[in-house]
Structure 1
Amino acid sequence: MSTIGVLALQGDVREHAAAVERIGATPSRVRRLAELEAVDALIIPGGESTTIDKLLRAFELFEPLRDRIHAGMPVMGSCAGMIMLATDIVGAIDGQRSLAAIPMTVRRNAFGRQVDSSEVELAWIPDGSTMHATFIRAPWVESCDPSVEILATATGPDGAAHPVAVRHGNAIATSFHPEIAEPGAVHDDRVHRLLLDLV
């Protein structure tokens, strides 16, 4: 059985761990190097990208995580996790670093502040189905390399469609929170399953 880690420094750790269990893998909370080395894949949950960056450095995980991702470990980032996986960040604070796993530029808080959080129905491009998505202070993909596969787009406050779910090699990123479902609704775990497929 595959072990999928959830970076447990900030964010929806419990919700992602529950999703990992639902897809038939073993979840593992990752805070230390030994825990990172023991997983087959990793999820970087939402939260605050600048805080995640600082905590990764404080826990001496930034370089080991970056090296494992670039060596091919499957990784998934949601919301702030998407920002952490980008090569370039619009609206970054001074000194903010990313793991540069996907050749794309993302814009922090592109969909607005916390009060602008929303739930929308997206078209899931790989099979044409719909997906319910929750956006909370979400980024979007400003631009990306042609090698990046766009899995879903959403209309921003500017009226334009922007990529909000992408895949590139061993990395998957979403602007929204795939670990969250409407109260009483069945969880949609297809993004987590994509990660498991990479394992």
Structure 2
Amino acid sequence: MSKIGVLALQGAVREHMRSLEECGVEAVAVKRKEELTDLDGLILPGGESTAMRRLIDKYDFMDALKAFAAEGKPMFGTCAGLILLAKELVGYDVSHIGVMDIKVERNSFGRQVDSFEADLTIKDVAESFPAVFIRAPHIVEAGENVEILSKHNGRIVAAREGQYLGCSFHPELIDNHRLTAYFVEMVKEAEAKQFV
């Protein structure tokens, strides 16, 4: 059985854990960097990216997260997690983990009060997916190897590049687990490649 972690420093950890369990995999709340070594994949949840970065630095997670990515293990960033994965951030000189060839703008759909739901078509996932946007970022630019999976009003809100998956919204806040299941399949594909 695949073992997938959720970075449990801040954000919607429990909801992601429940979604993973619904998809039939073992979910692990990752609170120490040593716990990354046993995992097949990792979700970087939504939350507040600045607070998350502070906690990543406080608990000395950054090098371990970059090493996890370098091993070819899949990572899925939702909302703030998408910001952590991006190589470039609008208005900032430095990125965080910086492994996905995308440029992301923070809070591009407005503040907390501007939160909304939208039905999205997500390639290879769903024709109609009820996406919850809360102070959401969006992908301003995507590199040539990045596959755009979904747009909302012309803005890129979900994309994949190899072992990395990112979205602007919160798939863990609804009872539709199809995007989580898509990530679980990515993890299983990556595991299968290791044994070839």
Instruction: Tell me how far apart the structure 2 counterparts of residues 65 and 149 of structure 1 sit (CA, whole Å).
Output: 23
Output aligned runs, 1:1-199, within 5 Å.
Answer: 1-92=1-92, 97-126=95-124, 129-155=127-153, 161-181=154-174, 187-199=175-187
- CA RMSD of superposed structures (Å): 1.3
- 1:128 offset after TM fit, Å? 6.3
Instruction: Tell me how far apart the structure 2 counterparts of residues 128 and 60 of structure 1 sit (CA, whole Å).
Output: 37
Q: Deviations over 1:148-187 (max 9, x none)?
A: 01111002xxxxx111000001110010000011xxxxx2
In the alignment, is the contact (CA less than 8 A) between 1:91 and 1:108 conserved in 2? no
The residue type equivalent to 2:38 in the other structure is A
- 1:115 offset after TM fit, Å? 0.5
In the alignment, is the contact (CA less than 8 A) between 1:121 and 1:132 conserved in 2? yes
Q: Deviations over 1:85-108 (max 9, x none)?
A: 00001144x7x6411121010000
Instruction: Tell me how far apart the structure 1 counterparts of residues 96 and 34 of structure 2 sit (CA, whole Å).
Output: 22
State the number of aligned residues: 187
- 1:70 offset after TM fit, Å? 2.2
In the alignment, is the contact (CA less than 8 A) between 1:165 and 1:175 conserved in 2? yes
Question: Percent of aligned pairs with the same residue?
Answer: 41
Question: Which residues of structure 1 form unaligned runs of 5+?
Answer: 156-160, 182-186
Instruction: Tell me how far apart the structure 2 counterparts of residues 191 and 121 of structure 1 sit (CA, whole Å).
Output: 13
Secondary structure at the residue paired with 1:179? helix
- 1:34 offset after TM fit, Å? 1.9
Instruction: Tell me how far apart the structure 2 counterparts of residues 47 and 70 of structure 1 sit (CA, whole Å).
Output: 24
- 1:127 offset after TM fit, Å? 6.1
Report runs of 4+ in structure 1 exceeding 3 Å deviation: none
Instruction: Tell me how far apart the structure 2 counterparts of residues 90 and 151 of structure 1 sit (CA, whole Å).
Output: 21
C-alpha change, 1:169 and 1:47, in structure 2 (3 Å) is same
In the alignment, is the contact (CA less than 8 A) between 1:7 and 1:43 conserved in 2? yes
Secondary structure at the residue paired with 2:172? coil
> When you count helix as a share of all residues, which structure comes out higher?
2
- 1:198 offset after TM fit, Å? 1.6
Q: Taking structure 1 as the reference length, what is the TM-score of the superposition?
A: 0.90
Q: Taking structure 2 as the reference length, what is the TM-score of the superposition?
A: 0.91
The residue type equivalent to 1:103 in the other structure is D
Instruction: Tell me how far apart the structure 2 counterparts of residues 91 and 110 of structure 1 sit (CA, whole Å).
Output: 12
Question: Which residues of structure 2 form unaligned runs of 5+?
Answer: 188-196
Instruction: Tell me how far apart the structure 1 counterparts of residues 78 and 159 of structure 2 sit (CA, whole Å).
Output: 11
The residue type equivalent to 1:67 in the other structure is A
